[in-house]
């Protein structure tokens, strides 16, 4: 039996994407965030559903950096929401 091609080979992504599909999604994610500050890149990719480890790999940084940035952005969003409710 012939080995499946990359297009048919399943990846361990929860969505059941093939390796090829996963790479395409990663490339599209990078195209969307290019020319932006790292914090903006992390926020956009996080809101798009990329996991922290994958964001870190795409941007060439650590998972901890990504996790801290996403946490800071969530806290800032909550604080902003709280100010609107009071004012």
Structure tokens at 31: 């195209």
| Closest C-alpha among 3, 2, 26 to residue 13 | 26
When pLDDT is cut at 50, 70 and 90, the band that residue 13 belongs to is low
Q: What is the pTM of this model?
A: 0.71
Q: Three-state DSSP class for 18?
A: strand
Residue with tokens 């990846």: 11
- Contacts of 1-4 with CB under 8 Å at 24 or more apart are none
Could you give the count of Cα atoms lying within 13 Å of 78 in the half-sphere of its Cβ? 6
Span 21-70, pLDDT tens digits: 888 888 888 898 899 999 999 999 999 889 999 999 999 999 999 999 99
């Amino acid at each position: 039996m012939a080995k499946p091609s990359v297009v048919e080979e399943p990846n361990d992504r929860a969505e059941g994407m093939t390796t090829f599909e996963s790479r395409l999604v990663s490339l599209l994610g990078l195209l969307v965030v290019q020319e932006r500050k790292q914090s903006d890149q992390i926020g956009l990719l996080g809101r798009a559903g990329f996991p922290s480890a994958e964001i870190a790999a795409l941007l060439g940084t650590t998972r901890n950096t990504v996790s801290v940035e996403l946490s800071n952005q969530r806290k800032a969003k909550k604080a902003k929401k709280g100010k609107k409710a009071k004012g």
